[in-house]
Amino acid sequence: MTMKRIWAFLLMGVMLLGMISVPAQAAENEYAVVSGSATLNLRAQPSASSQWLGRAFEGDWVQILTHEDNGWHYCRVVETGAYGYMAGNYLTTASENSVGSTGVVKNPVASQFLNLRQYPSYSADVMGIYYNGAKFSVLGYENGWYQVRTSSGQTGYFRKEFVQVTGSVSSGNAVVRTGNSGKLNLRNAPSKQGGIMAQYVNCTQVQVLLKGSKFWQVKVGNTVGYMDPAFLSTGSASSAHSAPSQPVPETRGYCIVNNPRATQFLNLRQQPSTTSKVLATYKNGIRLEIIEQGEKWCKVYGKATGNIGYVMTEYVTLYGVPSTPVKTVQNGNTFVNLRSAPSKVNGAVYEKLYSGNQVIVLTPGDEWTQVRYGNTVGYMMSNFLK
């Protein structure tokens, strides 16, 4: 073989190597939290049809090792140490969880547009269409969807795969509360095996970047690390001396999200109303603990994220609670009014119910509960229902 032909073969080899797609290396110590699915499968290859290696659960931490072009990541599950590929749609990083970031639309095909949805679901109404380069500010992040405000002033939701977000801002504050004179460890990984970077005394204020089920990613000064949330209290340092950590609510039974279609999301709302603020969205199969049961709305607790709010009962399957939510009136020897509205001023009195009378709960509430007594639907003060 002549020298000329040898050089030709070498040149062809270099060209072929240049055509091979090499996975992008993740940032050093990049961690994410499983979100938007009760479980997330671990695969041998970056494909949903690949060999199943195991799973992680909602709220679990994973270490992202490489990023694939098709939206999959090669990961290590922190809890079990298992390695494999995971769908990036269901992994949330601190930058994605940050309110205050900015971004631009970035479709894979430049001629395509991105739908701005009314709420975080592919079945939601389309409010507008946006092409590559359209700018927006981030208002929130929910299970693979960014809540955004576009440069034209529209507010809605973009799917995460079709945008590029930059910047990272704290999504909340917390205060160290060890309960004694001890110090709280700041670790370099979301695990008790993570190296100790620093230790902080009671009342130290931290910025919360991302919440997992066993560790929170936080920022103290210019240092980012991980702390055990059992020793963190949400709020400011000035209130830390008197305000205890938020207790885990008392629950009774649980429910599993059961949307009519697998592609739909169930909204967790701040109040039992379809116009109330959406706190989170959940796909089918996610478990929520029941605080108060109602035929129309249930007050629930998301153990993985700490969210408390209301979901519509028709979209969940209930376990460990009565088929009919019944409460008993208790007010000594006097009566309790069943009113037409949740107000002592504007609610007309339908009935006067005495201790021992039973009502069916439709919508639980902290101050007022919507109930049914016989064929009458109205509102009663929650304090008198046991």
Share of residues in the chain with pLDDT > 70 (%): 83
Architecture label for domain 326-384 = Roll (2.30)
| pLDDT (0 to 100) of residue 178 | 77
Model confidence pLDDT, tens digit, residues 318-358: 999 999 999 999 988 889 999 999 888 888 999 999 999 99
- Is the predicted pLDDT of residue 241 greater than 50, yes or no? no
Contact 81, 48 (CB under 8 A): no
CATH topology of domain 254-319: SH3 type barrels. (2.30.30)
- Between the ranges 27-31, 35-39, 96-100, where is the mean pLDDT highest? 27-31
Residue 25 has pLDDT above 90, yes or no: no
**Ranges 68-72, 351-355, 377-381: which has the least confidence:** 68-72
CATH classification code of 173-239:
2.30.30.40
User: What confidence tier does 235 reach under pLDDT thresholds 50, 70, 90?
Assistant: low
> Would you list the domain boundaries of the chain?
24-92, 102-166, 173-239, 254-319, 326-384
Looking at per-residue pLDDT, the higher value among 234 and 308 belongs to 308
Among 57, 62, 65, which Cα is nearest to 36's?
57
Q: Is 132's pLDDT higher than 80?
A: yes
Contact 134, 151 (CB under 8 A): yes
pLDDT band at 304 (very low <50, low <70, confident <90, very high): low
What pLDDT, in 10s, does the model give residues 134-150? 988 887 766 677 888 88
Mean pLDDT of the chain: 82
Question: What is the CATH architecture of 102-166?
Answer: Roll (2.30)
Calculate mean pLDDT across residues 85-99: 76
pLDDT in tens, 155-193: 888 988 788 876 544 456 888 887 666 789 999 999 999
pLDDT at 211: 83
Q: 349 or 282, which is more confident?
A: 349
Is the pTM of the predicted complex or chain greater than 0.85?
Answer: no
pLDDT, tens only, 265-275: 898 888 898 88
Whether the pLDDT of residue 258 is over 50: the answer is: yes
Is pLDDT at 76 greater than 70 in this prediction? Answer: yes
Question: pLDDT value at position 195?
Answer: 92
Q: State the pLDDT at residue 349.
A: 92
Contact partners, residue 98, CB within 8 Å, separation at least 6 = 138, 141, 167, 168, 169, 170, 171, 209
> Is the model more confident about 36 or about 204?
204
Per-residue pLDDT at 188 = 94
Per-residue pLDDT band for 374 (boundaries 50, 70, 90) equals very high
Cβ atoms of 149 and 100 closer than 8 Å: no
CATH architecture of 24-92: Roll (2.30)
pLDDT mean over 3-12: 51
Residue 29 confidence (pLDDT): 80
